Amino acid sequence: MFIKQLYTGCLSEAAYYIESNGEAAVIDPLRDIDEYLQLANERKASIKYIFETHFHADFVSGHIDLASATGASIVYGPGTVAKFKVHVAKDQEQFKIGDLTVEVLHTPGHTMESSCFLLKDETGKDHCVFTGDTLFVGDVGRPDLAQQGNITMHDLAGMLYDSLHSKIFPLADEVIVYPAHGAGSACGKNLGPSNFSTVGDEKKFNYAMKAETKQAFIREVTDGIASPPAYFPVNARINKEGYDSLDKVLEKGMRALNVEAFKKSIGEDTIILDTRASTVFTHGFIPNSISIGLDGRFAEWAGTILPFDKPILLVTEPGKEKESLVRLARVGYDKMEGYLAGGYEAWQQAGEAIDLIIDVEPDELIMDKKHDDKLIVVDVRKETEFAEGHLKNALNFPVQTLLDPVNVSAFEEDQNIYVHCAGGYRSVIASSLLKRQGIHNLRNVLGGWSKIKLEKDAAIVKGEKVEGLRG
């Protein structure tokens, strides 16, 4: 028996490769499938099944491309309806992989078709369970993504409680839990730092699993749940309906454009996406570019910020073109039109117009704040982060709210805007969005809140909500 967790940090996503006697299966693959094919080839195994725990909302799965490349069957749980060929498994249906057995445990609640896959070893003993978004380390899947008809979030939470208690609780404490996501994922409220656990530990330490009643469980998992990222329904639809092959997307996106060709490709609706590190972007960029650096949670922020129906031109660090394209494709983007050959340096050397964002240290912000009555601090962290502590009179505009022209139009020309987040990544995204909408009198605060709160003269407010300008 061979099991390998293939973890992708920027999406907090775990796929799994399992194998026995030359037969293999992949669980919840990403859209870029080369790693699975290479692993099977190195181990001289053939991929027999692709098990999908549900229709994922936070990334585009590689199920269709992997099935095309290997001839493997795509297996979903009961109730699945898709626009491509799948094997819709029955609850408790079993599949053989060499000497191993995989049993389907239908666990509706996160979504209606959600299922866990219980792996039994060569002796038939329960070894581990791949729980998808049903059960995480320290958390459970959010129940607000698959509402349909008259089914509400609270209905789904009740189903999730029943699923956990009927399918997961009866398993032995030593059975290993392998979830689809780790810390940082928006598929739950507050996932733990580890990427695997055991059934026994989750019974002891998982806040949701410890709920004494069904009503208490429903209350726990629905209370304070944040709105899902805007791209979630798009990705879920793509996973259900199908998509172009990644090779086709890369073929178009990997067109190298010289400066003149790049300029001619910029249309009225074109997005210029700069994937260089946020700390590099501020020193110079093509006007109207949006910064989403590969050095952060790139795919999630791309899905949150960028439209899916507009053409995208890329500006990357030389050699990072393909990585940028693949990571965009992972969350459903397929309208990439090419990249700037030679990157930003080629644009600059050609004498083309450039823009920049002024960086300031936190101590400069605190000093300026004392003497400038036109200074406005724009804190682009989440509302929950803001509530835990912020500068007095700061305005809270989570990054995505700056996509709304109504919010941006509320800023006045004579205001001096200082933008910060927690560490410096999101504030550069936010600053690029403001720049793109004509707000140029701004500063990016280096190090964000992590450094601001250390300033001895910072006036910090906790537990108090200060509204932004959006009224």
Tens-place pLDDT, residues 237-276: 999 999 999 999 999 999 999 999 999 999 999 999 999 9
In this prediction, residue 471 carries a pLDDT of 32
**Three-state secondary structure readout of 277-311:** CHHHHCCCECCCCEECCCCCCHHHHHHHHCCCCCC
| Cα separation, 356 vs 419, whole angstroms | 14
Cβ-based neighbours of 25, under 8 Å, separated by 6 or more: 17, 18, 19, 47, 48, 49, 50, 51, 72, 95, 97, 102
Residue 181 backbone dihedrals phi, psi, to 5 degrees:
-145, 155
- Closest Cα partner for 286 from 273, 299, 303, 301? 273
3-state secondary structure of 419: strand
Predicted pLDDT of residue 469: 44
Amino acid identity, residue 10? C
Alpha-carbon distance of 57 to 190, in angstroms, equals 17
pTM of the predicted structure, to 2 decimals: 0.91
1: which 2 tokens? 């028996």
Give the pLDDT score at 466.
46
Q: Measure the CA–CA gap between 25 and 49, rounded to whole angstroms.
A: 5
* Measured distance CA(105)–CA(163) in Å, rounded: 9
Q: In the prediction, which pLDDT does 457 show?
A: 85
Spatial contact of 187 and 226, defined as CB atoms under 8 Å apart? no
Q: Which residues contact 129 (CB under 8 A, 6 or more apart)?
A: 105, 116, 117, 118, 119, 168, 171, 175, 176, 177, 178, 199
The residues of the chain scoring below 50 in pLDDT are 466-471
Of 359, 351, 356, the residue nearest 284 (C-alpha): 356
pLDDT value of residue 440: 93
The DSSP line for 171-238 is S-TT-EEEESB-TT-TTSSS--S-S-EEHHHHHHH-TTTT-SSHHHHHHHHHTTPPPPPTTHHHHHHH
Handedness of CA 301, 305, 306, 308 (dihedral sign): positive
Residues 380/430, Cβ–Cβ less than 8 Å: yes
Segment 166-209, tens digit of pLDDT: 999 999 999 999 999 999 898 988 899 999 999 999 999 999 98
- Report yes or no: 62 and 85 within 8 Å, Cβ to Cβ: no
What is the set of domains in the chain, with CATH numbers?
A: 2-233 (3.60.15.10), 244-349 (3.40.250.10), 358-461 (3.40.250.10)
Stated length of the chain: 471
